[in-house]
Amino acid sequence: MKHSFRENSSDHVIFEKEFKSLSDIKLACTKDDFRDVTLHGVNTEEENVLQLDKYNLYLTPTVYNRGYYINAIYVSSFLEENAFIVTQYPSEDGAVNFLRMLIDNDSDTVICMDPLADVESSSTWLPEPLIYKMVGPYSLQHEGGSEIDVKVTSVNILDGTESTHSKKIVQPTGPLKSIQDTACLRSLVSYVMHLPTENPVTIVSKDGASLCGVFCAIFNCIQQINMDDSVDVFTTVRQLQTRRPEFCSSIDEYMLVYKSVKDFIEFTSEHVYSNL
């Protein structure tokens, strides 16, 4: 279902029909698809969005008395298998595993779907300037930051073996859910598109699904536009939902993908013509 992002009254009807089709064909999961969750005694009341076993991300046994389970999955981009790691903000108890995951997978960049000032648990793992923060066996140090289109915090993680791991924690400068102004959301996507690394990028939200699917869909759509000069939003979202059915699970999020891609096309066209 390819569209040229027309501006007329029939668009909303098209989006609703597509969204209903997505809901109708969405993967129906059973308990057998979540055996790892049962095996590790995860409290499903606390984690409403669970990972499918076939897309699990496992931790290495680098920290004493810690298992290998974490509620995180790999997600592919349009061009690269497992380009993203998608998870939720860690609780105080889960902060060690979150840092293990970043180190295990050489994930240098964490993209947050919320300003971390709005995420209470972030104080358990994000260090303040000039202060070392101990998280289990890890020592974290704030190395500086910047804020232009996005807020970037540089963090060094010392793992107790004289190895230092440099990470960038990236936050939006404003809310991402507004369909009227997609600039903050597009700025996050643009930041990732210009990263000089092929390591997986970690995408984080409060439940590991809301807005994460939107981010990945926009990113993949823009990659498709750059490669093919066309885009298929419906198929892009459908493919993402095979990894996590809760991605783009509301009509508002589905429309946010369309609006963000449309705004990207218009902004890019204006930028090109202004430089001719």
Q: How far is CA 168 from the centre of its chain?
A: 14
pLDDT at 163: 85
pLDDT at 50: 54
Query: Does residue 100 or residue 44 have the better pLDDT?
Result: 100
Tell me the pLDDT tens digit for each residue of 127-152: 998 888 999 999 999 998 889 999 99
Q: How far apart are CA 274 and CA 272, in angstroms?
A: 5
Alpha helix ranges (H) inside the chain: 11-25, 35-39, 95-104, 183-193, 212-228, 233-243, 251-274
Tell me the pLDDT tens digit for each residue of 151-178: 999 999 998 777 899 999 999 999 898 8
Residue 272, pLDDT above cutoff 70 = no
- DSSP states of 81-99: TT-EEEEE---TTTHHHHH
For 11-274, CATH gives: 3.90.190.10
Q: How far apart are CA 226 and CA 16, in angstroms?
A: 27
Domain ranges of the chain: 11-274
The whole-chain average pLDDT of the chain stands at 85
Q: How many CA atoms lie within 13 A of 173 on its CB side?
A: 14
Both tokens of 204, joined, read 């984080």
Query: Does residue 2 or residue 208 have the better pLDDT?
Result: 208
Checking DSSP bridges between strand 109-112 and strand 84-88, what pairing results, if any? unpaired
Residue 69, pLDDT above cutoff 90 = no
Lowest pLDDT segment from 25-34, 139-148, 206-215: 25-34
